[in-house]
Structure 1
Amino acid sequence: MTREEIIKLEQYLQKKFQLPSLEVRQRPKKDDSAEVYIGDEFIGILFRDDDDEDLAYQFQMAILDFDLAGG
């Protein structure tokens, strides 16, 4: 992903989730995805999907059972 894509995605997600502390960061050695953080906590990965005619982005977030127990 380009720096421009990352900035646009970060601004979109911050607005959509009403969460200014959300950050999208470039992944080392990967150009098809970026990492998503809230503050210092890693929460998921954004993947760039340009296999079809339309460009799309997929957000993947794993929620572990012990995360649910914490409240």
Structure 2
Amino acid sequence: MTPNEIAKVQSYLRRTFESDSISIQAPAKAGAPIEVYSGEEFVGVLHRDEEDGEVSYDLHISILAEDLE
């Protein structure tokens, strides 16, 4: 993902979840996952998908059972 795409997705997520604490960090190495944070808490990874000329962004959030308690 380009820095411009990352900025647009970050802005969208902040508006959607009404939280300026959401941040997307570009990976240090090419091909590494793009990480999404709420404050300092890691919440998931972001993937870019392009199929038939259409682009979408998928946010995968994993919640550990131990975090629910």
Instruction: With the length of structure 1 as denominator, give the TM-score of the two structures.
Output: 0.87
Over residues 24-58 of structure 1, what are the superposed CA-to-partner deviations in whole Å (9 max), with x where a residue is unaligned? 11012135752100111111001000133311110
Report the count of equivalent residues: 69
CA distance in 1: counterparts of 2:52 and 2:41, whole angstroms: 32
Paired AA for residue 42 in structure 1: F
Q: Which runs of 5+ in 1 are unaligned?
A: none
Give the equivalent residue in structure 2 for 1:29: 29
The structure in which a higher percent of residues are strand is 2
Give the equivalent residue in structure 1 for 2:56: 56
Identity, in percent, stands at 38
Paired AA for residue 37 in structure 1: Y
